[in-house]
Amino acid sequence: MKDRKFMKKMVSVRMMVFCLCAGVMALAVKQLPIVRTAPQVIYNLVEMFIKIPCGFGAMQLAWNLSKKLNMKVFGWIGTIAYELYLLHGYILSHVEVSWTGWMIFIVASFGGAGLMYKTKKIYEPYLKKRI
């Protein structure tokens, strides 16, 4: 049983490394002049071969780290993700591009999203009764 768990973990790590390496190699291919001057379809295909493997590799990395680290912060971000999605663009358009603007953006986005989430939780039972 222990050997099986170890092998499963090794396959997971190998897959993560393979995906990240494939994405980086596709990124190198994208820099070639023949790809840069190719039709848009070819360029988009190369872009897809960058983003999909790197995405899988990043997800695998997050999965592996979640077993080792306390991921309560990411759980909270996942909980307010929809509210954060709704607010971030509006807030981003109202802050300047600087370190202070960046800090204001982070605090305002997460604070506003948390406030929206708490408000939604308070009024959710009343809204469900009416529907």
Tens-digit pLDDT string for the chain (131 aa): 566 665 566 667 888 889 899 999 999 999 999 988 999 999 899 999 999 998 888 888 887 777 777 777 777 888 889 999 999 888 888 888 899 989 999 999 999 999 999 999 998 888 777 65
pLDDT of 39 reads: 92
pLDDT of 83 reads: 92
H or E stretch covering 92: helix 81-92
- Asked if residues 109 and 88 have their Cβ atoms less than 8 Å apart, the reply is yes
pLDDT of 10 reads: 66
Look up the pTM and report it. 0.51
- Who contacts 19 (Cβ-Cβ below 8 Å, separation ≥6)? 53, 54, 56, 57, 60
Helices first, then strands: H and E counts in the chain: 6, 0
